Structure 1
Amino acid sequence: MLGAIVRFLLRIIYRVELRGREHYDAAGTRTLILYNPGSILDPLLIAAMLPDRITLLADRALEHKWWMRPVCALTDTQFFDFSSPAATVSLVHALARNGRCMVFHSGRLGNDPRYTRILEAAGLIAEKADATLLPVRIDGASSTMFSYLRHKGRRRWLPRITVSVLEMQKFRPSGHLPPRERRRRMGERLYDIMTGLEYRSGMERCNLMQALMEAAARCGRRFPIAEDQDRHVLTYGALLLKLCVLGRAFRRLFRGEEKVGFLLPTSLPGLVAFFGLHSASLVPAMLNFTSGISSVVSCCRTVQLSSVLTSRRFLALADLTAMEQALRDAGLRIVYLEDVAKNLTVADKLFGALSAFFRVSPSTSAEAPAAVMFTSGTEGVPKAVLLSHLNIIANRYQALSMLTIGSGDKLFNCLPMFHAFGLGICTLLPVIAGVRVFLYPSPLHYRIVPRLFYESQSTIICGTDTFCAGYARYGQPYDFCHARLVIIGAEKMRESTRRTWLEKFGVDLFEGYGATETAPLISVNTPAYRREGSVGRAVPGLACRLVPVPGIDEENTGVLWVKGDNVMLGYMRYSEPGVLEPPVDETLAEAYAVTGRGDDGSGWYETGDIVHMDEEGFIFIRGRAKRFAKVGGEMVSLAAVEDALKEIWPDAVLGVVAIPDPRKGEQLALVIDTENVTTSRIAAHFASRGLSPLWTPKRIVSVKQAPLLGSGKFDYRKALELAEKG
């Protein structure tokens, strides 16, 4: 009777809906219920909405909380000390005796070590009791007045709440493992289930403008979402107004065009212009203005652009007048933001204001292109990468299911918007997730970035090892005192960089891994789960498989292929302008054509990276498939040679490339921004380490400034040209 009354009140107040009842019925009687913790209402919602009375295995710290009283009335509650080993035996007996049980503690999924220990205990309980795991997803409760995130996000009195029961799961780890290791593996497996639950249930198939409008409604028009170095602050209301007005003008200016070249820096005008193009149902093609004139012109031809949107002020400050003229000579129309703003009509302002007020967004399909990115071109001509709205939205949910980031954080973004990480993770993720972002146009200002990070009171920053080493060199110890999460990628993290950050700033670095083609995140280490030397585990919703490489005999090692919602629509190549080439595994496709069974190969993307994946799913990058040289008949990893060389010159920027050799097929060449580098010194160091003499570069090119791309990656194509010239 009491349960029926509480259920009626919850449906009236929060419009609570139960989904997936069939999964609950199929789970059986001995079931351990797992859920995504978000509020103190969680156990009450599950107890009231599920058809049977459940047993609640609660943390003893909650025994005297006033809000536990109605929960205890609806459930058979037993309190335990989860940190006590003896409690595990009691929990196993409770599950075996009472059937359907749920473990509850007042913590948030993510970086809470206490929650990690509870997951380990829950996994061990499920194994010992031979129980089925039943994931339950609660949507909406984390935005109520009873949320755990009440100090980080905007709360509402009466949000709609949905309780979704997902498919049951059952697993058993390897029995030969020691008890402590088995317990840890159990916790990791349950963590994967929970992050997968977080992703699948939260994922929404919508376009970027719809996601932005939803974020503005959730956080409020007065929420200060973006800021720049001039201390100009953009609220959601101002952002919507500006982009809708600009969108009206863009719709008139670019009539008949589908894609528009985007030549703007990471800035507030750049942010507004990006979404302004989307409000006009146009696709921005993000041009890399640091890659050189010929590269930018080829990118425009690859995607058959007619117009390029830029700014006179930006072109002057970045000294890009020669590029501007080259684009004109190539037949492209240059449109300046200053002229667009000056020529806005009364109708643009009026209808734009109405669209912003009513949060009108285009009905573009989630599968339609949202942005055109370009590969770095380190080893050839840049290819166009078409990312859909779904790709970007999915990667946002994948990242947030593994990383605890809230609206109380501020992300410092100095990465360029033409870079996949700078656009997808550092610009679009915070804006559509309600996380404040500070925009700065260049990551190369090693003295300025640390100071601005401190002054802006930012808490999160992403970059490369090269950038972070520069910030550590010039930053003051207090500059990163607010830092809570620092993620680096694009190149291997040096231990010296991590050690310097720990000693100077007291901040740990977490290495991640991604690709332009995956919008961009593939894997990341987290405070909850990390492995030294790895780039973390794959994000939820992304399938991974390894294809063996001839000459590499290491177990569980090969070229990484991935497939998921965040994998691109396809490539466009310079040789075939405008022709979309969807990702596919030709080997699987051929086998499917013959047998008609299995995977047809569509949607699989070859990363080109040779990786090792351990039993727990941590990914260790061994090198690029194209970055192996065959010296004297032996396969040599250029990345491994670079790692060994960085032991001698830890602060240098260097790269190793392979050039033809008449006797041994190929030889190694080193390009480094340090003088007095000799092969004898390298050979002596390698001999002391027991490394093969074949690893010693035969040609050394010392330069004043190492060739770098705008994304911070080493420019191997330019390095190869330098090495060949000698």
Structure 2
Amino acid sequence: MTGLLATLIGLAIAGGLFAALIVARKRQCGFAQAIALLKLRSLFDLHLPDRKEPSTHSRRPVVHLYSRQSGLDAAVLWAALDRNCLHVLHEDDQRSLLLFGLRLFARTAHAGDHSAIEAALAEGRSVTLGFPQNAEPTPETLTAYKHAAGLARKHGAVLQALHVRGSSLSPWSVWSRLEAPRHLLPRLRLAQTALLDLDDPQPPQNGATDPRDEDRVHDLLAEARLASNDLDRSLFLAFRDATDRYGKAGPVLEDALGGKLSYKKLMIGARVLGARFVKMSEPGEAMGVMLPNANAAIVTFLALQSAGRVAAMLNYTAGPAAIVSALSTARIRTVLASRAFVEKAGLEAPVAAIEKAGITIVWLEDMREDISWQEKTSAFLRWRSPLREVDAGDPAVILFTSGSEGTPKGVVLSHRNIHANAAQAEARIDISVRDKLFNVLPVFHCFGLTGGAILPLLYGVRLFLYPSPLHYRIIPAVAREVKPSIMFGTDTFLAGYARTAKDTDFASLRLIVAGAEAVRAETRRIYRERFGASIVEGFGMTETAPVAAVNSGSHNKDGTVGRLLPAMALRLEPVEGINDAGRLFVSGPNVMLGYMLASNPGVLQPLADGWHDSGDIVAVDEDGYIAIRGRAKRFAKIAGEMISLGAIELMVQQLWPEDFHAAVAVADRRKGERIVLVTTRMPALREELRDYSRRFGATELMIPNEIVNVPQLPLLGSGKTDYVTAQKIADEWISTHRADKAER
């Protein structure tokens, strides 16, 4: 028996050595490296990037850069990189028993041994340099980035960034246990960027014309961090991965009703509902979701992903006409809703309009009461498996925005679009399981869905959902109890909360991410001085899932919306009459699949070349910071809501068909913008317009704040309305009336 055991052990060792020989030959690495690689693959399920064809830079030394997440990182890089590479070790790695084999067989140096690093590069050998683990570098780290770039320039080397996803969860993690839970054998995924030559005359795709070396290194590391995510997985599988990583941390999802869900309970609930959705719909079918910010909305969303259905998030504040139009545009047959929510929010009119259109409403309360114990047991046992496999490139979500004619357009986002955008944000802003995000933005808005729900849950951040951003007096008190560290909002909402908040209400906040409208300096000052929280401003649109650019703690410039996210590109097209800015076009993994239009319901209109016309006029400075000059499309943003000026004109034209009308937007101190109607109607009574808007199905925000009477509407030579002149008329009228009020 002993002889047989010895024989089996010998065969296993021989088999392992033979496998190592094959790996060494295939990867052209050392034998010791091959053995290390086999161990890492067997213990940590290590995934390596695909080997690429040699580039024009292949004979030049490479400065490999990485954000050190744990002691495992050095072992992974040694096993994966060139055998002659010099590995510059952190002082902790120099003493680590884990890396004894690396120190024994590899070429190593300590971080302070500059002569060894210089000598290796001078000899044409590559080196690895580790940096602190954070996505947002400190000034000291930026200096280190600049030094690394200087080494590459001096020795004619190229740069490459790498990132080991999952090593932060290992027992050798550099993060505290409060920031990263521990797993004995976490799955590891190594990502690498393309080689970067700092002397390459081609400017980077983020629009910067003369970026600093430290910024180029920072961007390269962010690209590697993004690439370490598996974006080829569906949203359901991405949530399952998050459950595996962070599921032991306790409740992760909470709402104002007092409900608390762990990852596993969230997944089980999604499996239960998803099985019902499978029975009432076809694969790939879009199902409407009309729910508030509450746990049920997230469970329902994930259930649709498990079932292989598309979640069409309905803006229940848009009015009956817009809702029914959206349902028609996406050919939605079923809407998932809550009786309690409809009664509390007063949505009887939209519900009646939906039912009148022949669309079925499924009440989740009724469904929940009807679930059998067999269904619950099956979901408990099979929660890890999606009910239907889908590709990452398949549609996952439809969100609706108004077109220039006032009819809602469906923005179709894939699983990859949304997952990529969450990963892009995580590559730029530091978040961890220590954080708690307070989300008041509705999930029918892309900012509220991706940033306020999916992003935190994919990366272990605890999430608290509040049903309405309009409760200015209640939200500060809730924040005092919840104690969030991160909050999303718009300038209008944030200013409203500050007016009613006590100084201690937002004391727990460390970061506020603001979008949808420009943030005023006064709002920044109040939150900085009263609450000790910084506001970083970003920019996006539903079509980019939604974030396209963002400021951060390390890269922040007032008057801008930040720098483009990793893996995105931009181009500016000239606009007549504007010399210092251009029309912004963007591309990237987060850019939508395309639109659904009312003129061709249910049919995806894909982007022709992968570039999306944002309709915004922007300027980009030499470092890549984007400043918004204005919007080319005729929309007004009021309290973060996009209001179609064309839709307002259509409504007014139906009320007063014999007259001519132009709706324009002017600046408003409180809400960002306000609407002025320039009309030939005499008299044009706002009360009459308000009464008609209710029958039309318009929202309160679509009712013009001011009405200006003119004898004749200004026209262009083509016969179209001259909106430039109409804007001047509105601006002059507002300015005159403000002056009159001031004199009184």
TM-score, scaled relative to structure 1: 0.79
Give the match for residue 508 of structure 2: 482
- How far apart are residue 475 of structure 1 and its match? 1.6
Q: 2:454 aligns with which of 412, 424, 428?
A: 428
Q: SS of 2:424's equivalent?
A: helix
1:146-189: CA deviation from partner (whole Å, max 9, x where unpaired): 122342222211234344554322113889xxxxx999800001
Change in 2 beyond 3 A, CA 1:134/1:257: closer
The CA distance in 1 between the partners of 2:326 and 2:77, in whole Å, is: 53
Residue among 71, 74, 77 paired with 1:40: 71
2:587 is the counterpart of 1:566? no
SS in 2 for 1:157: coil
In the alignment, structure 1 residue 615 sits paired with structure 2 residue 622:
yes
Change (3 A) 1:72 1:672: farther
SS in 1 for 2:399: strand
CA distance in 1, matches of 2:319, 2:564: 34
Q: CA deviation at 1:8?
A: 6.3
Correspondence for 1:679: none
Q: Deviations over 1:666-698 (max 9, x none)?
A: xxxx999999xxxxxxxxxxxxxxxxx969812
Deviations 1:57-79 (A, max 9, x none): 466x7698556984655333144
Q: What SS does the corresponding residue of 2:488 show, helix, strand or coil?
A: strand
Aligned to 1:306: 333
Instruction: Output the CA distance in 2 between the equivalents of 1:31 and 1:202.
Output: 24
TM-aligned CA deviation for residue 408 of structure 1? 1.7
Q: Which amino acid aligns with 1:655?
A: R
Q: Do the aligned partners of 2:425 and 2:565 also contact (CA within 8 Å) in 1?
A: yes
Alignment match, 2:674 = 655
| Residue type of the alignment partner of 2:606 | P
CA contact (8 A) 1:209 1:361 kept: no
Is 1:493 the counterpart of 2:493? The answer is no
| Alpha-carbon spacing, 1:111–1:442, altered in 2? closer, same or farther (3 Å) | farther
Amino acid in structure 1 at the alignment position of 2:510: R
2: distance between equivalents of 1:268 and 1:492?
30
- Determine the C-alpha separation between the residues in 1 that align with 2:736 and 2:271: 51
Does the CA contact (< 8 Å) of 2:192 and 2:227 recur in 1? no
C-alpha contact (below 8 Å) 2:337/2:364 kept by paired residues: yes
Matched with 1:603 is 610
Q: Give the aligned partner of residue 522 of structure 1.
A: 548
* Structure 1, 364-373 or 151-160: larger mean CA deviation: 151-160
Cα distance in 1 between the residues matched to 2:87 and 2:285: 56
Contact 2:541 2:548 in 1 (8 A): yes
User: 2:305 aligned with 1:271, yes or no?
Assistant: no
Moved more, 68-77 or 503-512: 68-77
Q: What displacement does 1:3 show?
A: 6.3
Following superposition, the deviation at residue 105 of structure 1 comes to: 4.0
Q: Using a 3 Å threshold, how does the CA distance of structure 1 residues 183 and 46 change in structure 2: closer, same or farther?
A: farther
Unaligned runs of 5+ in 1: 82-86, 176-180, 585-601, 630-637, 663-669, 676-692, 704-726
- Aligned-pair distance for 1:22? 5.6
* Deviation (angstroms), 1:318: 0.3
Residues 284, 308 of structure 2: 8 Å contact kept: no
Partner SS, residue 402 of structure 1: coil
Q: How far apart, CA to CA, are the structure 1 residues paired with 2:402 and 2:458?
A: 26
Once the two structures are TM-superposed, the CA of residue 531 in structure 1 deviates from its matched residue by 1.6
- 1:386 — aligned with what? 412
Structure 2 counterpart of 1:287, one-letter code: L
Matched AA of 2:561: V
What's 1:397 paired with? 423
Instruction: Give the Cα–Cα distance (whole angstroms) in 2 for the partners of residues 160 and 268 of structure 1.
Output: 29
Query: Which amino acid is 2:367 matched to?
Result: V
C-alpha distance in structure 1 between counterparts of 2:533 and 2:675, whole Å? 30
Q: Distance in 2 between matches of 1:16 and 1:570?
A: 35
The Cα of 1:422 is off from its aligned counterpart by 0.7
1:391/1:488 Cα in 2 relative to 1: closer, same or farther (>3 Å)? same
Corresponding residue of 2:712: none
Q: Which moved more, 1:473-482 or 1:61-70?
A: 61-70
1:76 matched to 2:108: yes
Helix, strand or coil for the counterpart of 1:354? helix
C-alpha separation in 2, matches of 1:565 and 1:284:
20
Residues 123, 183 of structure 1: 8 Å contact kept: no
2:734 paired residue among 695, 700, 703: 700
Are 1:326 and 2:353 matched, yes or no? yes
1:252 CA displacement: 2.5
Given residue 130 of structure 1, which amino acid in structure 2 is its aligned partner?
G
2:381 aligns with: 354
1:244-299 superposed Cα distances (whole Å, 9 cap, x missing partner)? 11222222334688122211101011111222223332222111111111111111
The answer to whether the Cα contact below 8 Å between 1:672 and 1:701 also exists between their aligned partners in 2 is no
Q: Is residue 537 from structure 1 mapped to residue 563 from structure 2 by the alignment?
A: yes
Give yes or no for contact 1:671–1:702 (8 Å, CA) kept in 2.
no
Secondary structure of the structure 2 residue equivalent to 1:316: helix
Larger mean Cα displacement after TM superposition, 293-302 or 270-279 = 270-279
- Aligned partners of 1:551, 1:32: CA distance in 2, in Å? 45
CA gap of 1:346–1:628, structure 2 versus 1, over 3 A, is: closer
CA distance 1:346–1:386, change in 2 (3 Å): same
- Counterpart position of 2:81: 50
Aligned to 1:721: none
Q: Partner of 1:102: helix, strand, or coil?
A: strand
Contact preservation (8 Å) 1:610, 1:623: yes
Map 1:77-92 onto structure 2 (within 5 A): 77-80=109-112
Deviation at 1:97, TM superposition (A): 4.9
Query: In structure 2, do the counterparts of structure 1 residues 294 and 6 end up closer, same or farther at CA, with 3 Å as the change threshold?
Result: closer
What letter corresponds to residue 85 of structure 2 in structure 1?
Answer: I
CA distance in 1, matches of 2:735, 2:355: 37
Corresponding residue number in structure 2 for 1:577: 601
| 1:293/1:48 CA distance change after superposition, 3 Å | closer
* TM-score normalised over the length of structure 2: 0.77
The residue type paired with residue 80 of structure 1 is G
TM-fit CA distance, 1:513: 0.6
Count how many residue pairs are aligned between Structure 1 and Structure 2. Answer: 633
- TM-superposed CA distance for 1:49, in Å, is 4.0
What is the letter of the counterpart of residue 396 of structure 2? A
Q: Tell which deviates more after alignment, 337-346 or 603-612.
A: 337-346
- Once the two structures are superposed, the pairs formed by residues 168-247 of structure 1 within 5 Å of their partners are 168-172=195-199, 185-220=212-247, 223-247=250-274
Give the aligned partner of residue 432 of structure 2. Answer: 406
Q: Unaligned 5+ residue runs, structure 2?
A: 1-30, 203-207, 637-663, 682-700, 707-726, 738-744
Q: After TM superposition, give the deviation of residue 514 of structure 1 in Å.
A: 0.7
Q: Distance in 2 between matches of 1:4 and 1:321?
A: 67
Aligned partners of 2:635 and 2:257: how far apart in 1?
46
User: Deviations for 1:188-208, whole angstroms, at most 9, x for unmatched residues?
Assistant: 011111111222232421222
String of CA shifts for 1:690-714, please: whole Å, max 9, x gaps: xxx96981233999xxxxxxxxxxx
**RMSD across aligned C-alpha pairs, in angstroms?**
3.6
Identity %: 36
Matches within 5 A, 1:455-466: 455-466=481-492
Letter in 1 for 2:75: L
SS state at 1:517 partner: helix
